[in-house]
Amino acid sequence: MKVPMIALAALALMLGMLYYPVRFALAFELFGNAVHSPTLGWLGPTPRDAGKCVIDVGKVNSWECTDTTVFAEHRMGCRLWLRTFGYVDA
């Protein structure tokens, strides 16, 4: 069976558009608390593998590690998440 090239192009486009949102959703707890750093300000949602870097301080989490690469890798998604949930200074 031959698959038309247009169908393959449409499938590739859909997969490409879903790559970053799915990667963001797998890296963070989307309905969790926001993470705040004493030195950097609001970072984004709580990463799923935060471990000892996150300290629960009530309605937000505090980031205690110096490594913030998970937030840098998903900078656009984190900013969008912070604005969506009302952290307007992000």
Q: Which of 14, 46, 40, 41 is nearest to 27 (CA)?
A: 46
Residue 89 lies in a domain: no
In the prediction, which pLDDT does 44 show?
95
State residue 51's pLDDT score: 86
Q: Round to whole Å and give the CA distance between 57 and 38.
A: 12
- The domain of 16 spans 5-84
In a domain, 39, yes or no: yes
pLDDT digits (tens, 9 = 90+) for 21-33: 999 999 999 999 9
What is residue 1's predicted lDDT score, i.e. its pLDDT? 60
Residue 33 resides in a domain: yes
| Cα end-to-end span (Å), the chain | 51
Confidence tier at 9 by pLDDT (50, 70, 90): confident
Whether 90 is in a domain gets the answer no
Number of separate domains in the chain: 1
> pLDDT tens for residues 36-87?
999 999 999 999 988 899 999 988 999 999 999 999 999 999 999 999 999 8
The packing angle between helices 5-27 and 75-84, to 10°, is: 70
